[in-house]
Structure 1
């Protein structure tokens, strides 16, 4: 049985940064954070400064390493995407299927159910039950209301998948349907929706747990019509993912959202990453349409030929640097938004996202300026 001690770096435990302590890992699990000099019966791994943190958890990842999940909805495709993001500190993610055919949806569910895939913590279905009025880069021709077959399919899958997130628009579901999905263990997120604040509140009351990429593809915050954005920010118990690349959300709007969801942390970082993360390619096809990378700014930008944003080209470590450098967020707060908060949203905070006894020792070592130095999975320790 491997017994290790990581020392020489500040520790982020999922909530705060700790100095002058070391992390004890036993058989791939966190045993304790301890002060003083590590015991001589431990294998010592000395790090050269920086921060040792739980690995990042990304709830919304469309692709990576040159492929999209929609183009390869198989266990191999999911593993490829997870591997591509791992060198950027992401040790657990939800491969995300954007709006597509029933056959693609069933294939992705089958792949997620098939068995443990290293670095994959579940599945996110972003569609097809979205609002064509807020389609973004999705194809409206595949969007449709939720039906009884869908409810049965998702409910069965939720029992077999670690975490199943389904993004729904308010005009494609009823509160009663949301309640049934939630009771079956599906994590319902509202997104790509032009709903009113009252319509959103009705779905939150029914069990919807969060919103998908806050601000984007949804009714915005107005002082008389608060929309989905206002409903989410005003509701203490509702979670939300947000993209921190400077293209999807202005840094000032990021500050507003994080201030509204400061305590407890109910707003976490997602990349919404597409195929090009971890790849040298400069373009790819999305449902037969060309998406092109523009790397001229602080973060690369992905657009369709008509200028529509088509997901992001950012990784989690870059997102954290953006929050710290451009939004002015304290390092510990930024780290929490990429570790403990998404884990809690997915209801897996007891095993991922924190350095607590019994949790997986999925770890990332960061430099002081938040560049990834090393990544470990519990299976390797």
Structure 2
């Protein structure tokens, strides 16, 4: 990538892209003009002589990736560092790998840990790339706990609820819970507080999931993992998620959490507008480390697989750029469809479809440029570059 004058990109500048995914289809070559953090225009033809960021010949410019489930990165686990500094390190590690918007995710933990994050959440929300927060737990089903600490799984008490509901005022935040383990009034309270609610770590029946969707539950967290499965006479959470068009489903596309056949079934059922790529990333992303501690348990990285002492999968060692590449290879979808599942679809789930997930006038200039080999060239958040292209 080169800038065709000697100064850094000013408030207003134009990106010349050989190929452009605008949120719907591949187009190009194209010229995207950015002013005051927003996309001012998308055009075609010869670029002007100055103020141009010219991308390499094989580059694709696309809406920045949105990851609604990111537990850590850059050596930081959010549960260990629920602070502004911790959030910033996680966000920066993932931004270098294509994520321009995310929900830093706190897994099941003590009440005081939830409260600590709640106290800093309004300030942390000002960090470029933070769209809100994801509280995964504590109201999960112990039968489907996965790597979550069983001793901390619980129906939220009054202190928990006060802290959790405060996230409803912090951007576009969400809660994962097991609907069969809580009252419908609790779901109503969370939604009424401004939170999106997703079903996950759940042993619910399909009927229970349908009733939860009737109450306003709109998501399913990491489809196929830590939930009741689809069988001939008991569709479970998986069957309900695949069947119900009201439910968005996140999926970990690393080839480890979900078999490629199941991935392809999911995309055929949910389509690119119902299935969202997520990383469920842990702190080793962006580091050379091979292990970390998760609430006192040693988690090992072997290849790309993270496991606890008993062999349980412990999140993923995955970036959104890798997830897009894997979606093309494992799901057999077009690059445009993989990009939509990484940007437009999660933006819609979060209620941000008029601001993010497309390259069109009036949208925020959250963008990624990457090569034909799915290597990040540069990212922009509100028009500001990360200088990722200068990384070794």
1:268-279 alignment, distance < 5 Å: 268-279=276-287
**CA offset at residue 21 of structure 1?**
2.0
Match of 1:228 among 223, 237, 243: 237
TM-score, L = length of structure 2: 0.92
* 1:101 and 2:105 are equivalent in the alignment: no
The equivalent of 1:363 in structure 2 is 367
Consecutive unaligned residues of structure 2, counting only runs of 5 or more, are 1-9, 386-392
Residue by residue over 1:194-240, the C-alpha shift from the partner in whole angstroms, topping out at 9 and shown as x without a partner, is 11111111111101111110000000011210001111111011111
CA contact (8 A) 2:213 2:246 kept: no
Q: 1:281 aligns with which of 289, 292, 297?
A: 289
CA distance in structure 2 between the aligned counterparts of 1:242 and 1:294, rounded to whole angstroms: 21
Cα shift readout 1:137-184 (whole Å, capped 9, x = no counterpart): 01110111134554444333312x111110011232122321232132
- In the aligned structure 1, how far is the partner of 2:345 from the partner of 2:136? 20
Match of 1:33 in 2: 42
Residue 52 of structure 1, CA deviation: 0.4
- Provide the residue aligned with 2:7 in structure 1: none
- RMSD of the TM alignment (CA)? 1.5
| Whole-Å separation in 2 of the counterparts to 1:334 and 1:377 | 21
Q: Can you list the C-alpha shifts for 1:277-316, whole angstroms capped at 9, x where unaligned?
A: 0010000000111100111xxxx11001211100000101
SS of equivalent to 1:241: strand
Distance 2:179 2:246 in 1: 19
The CA distance in 2 between the partners of 1:92 and 1:8, in whole Å, is 21
Cα contact 1:146–1:172 (8 A) shared by 2 = no
SS of residue matched to 2:46: coil
CA distance in 1, matches of 2:120, 2:351: 21
Equivalent residue in structure 2 for 1:146, among 145, 153, 156 = 156
Q: For structure 1, which segment, 66-75 or 143-152, has the greater mean C-alpha deviation from structure 2 after superposition? A: 143-152
- Count of aligned pairs between the two proteins: 374
Q: In structure 2, the residue corresponding to 1:31 is in which secondary structure?
A: strand
Equivalent-residue separation in structure 1 for 2:34 and 2:356 (angstroms): 14
Secondary structure at the aligned position of 1:228 is classed as helix
Helix, strand or coil for the counterpart of 1:309?
coil
In structure 1, the residue matched to 2:353 is 349
- State the secondary structure of the residue aligned to 1:145: coil
CA distance in 1, matches of 2:144, 2:156: 17
Correspondence for 1:47: 55
Work out whether 1:118 is the aligned partner of 2:122: no
Matched residue of 2:42: which SS?
strand
1:1-381 maps to which residues of 2 (within 5 A)? 2-39=11-48, 43-49=51-57, 50-115=59-124, 116-159=126-169, 161-262=170-271, 265-295=273-303, 300-378=304-382, 380=384
Structure 1 residue matching 2:186: 3-state secondary structure: helix
